[in-house]
């Protein structure tokens, strides 16, 4: 799938997948609003995820998805 086709497939749809993998395919400055509700590393066990990472790993992961949110959000957009 071409990048433009992929981007078009995201519009008005709910996407399930790895957020970093998805955001990395989205063009710069192309999204009006980005919103995040990440796991907060509180050592909470969910059905398919255990929320316990080493602090350095967790902070690096947060920097990655925040950087992608900033990159894809339009200058006139909101995070």
Q: Are 43 and 51 in contact (CB under 8 A)?
A: yes
Task: Tell me how far apart the alpha carbons of residues 16 and 63 are, in angstroms, rounded to a whole number.
Answer: 21
Query: pTM, whole model, 2 decimals?
Result: 0.78
Residue 53 has pLDDT above 80, yes or no: yes
Q: Are 34 and 69 in contact (CB under 8 A)?
A: yes
pLDDT in tens, 4-33: 787 788 888 888 888 999 999 999 999 999
Provide mean pLDDT across the span 28-45.
Answer: 87
Task: Tell me how far apart the alpha carbons of residues 51 and 44 are, in angstroms, rounded to a whole number.
Answer: 5
Residue 38 has pLDDT above 90, yes or no: no
Report the share of the chain in percent with pLDDT over 90.
51
The residue with greater pLDDT, 18 or 48, is: 18
């Amino acid at each position: 799938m071409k990048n433009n086709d992929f981007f078009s497939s995201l519009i008005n749809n709910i996407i399930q997948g790895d957020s970093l993998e998805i955001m990395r395919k989205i063009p710069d400055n192309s999204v009006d609003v980005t919103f995040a509700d990440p796991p907060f590393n509180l050592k909470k066990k969910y059905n398919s995820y255990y929320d316990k990472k080493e602090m350095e790993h967790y902070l690096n992961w947060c920097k990655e998805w925040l950087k992608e949110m900033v990159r894809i959000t339009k200058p006139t957009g909101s995070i």
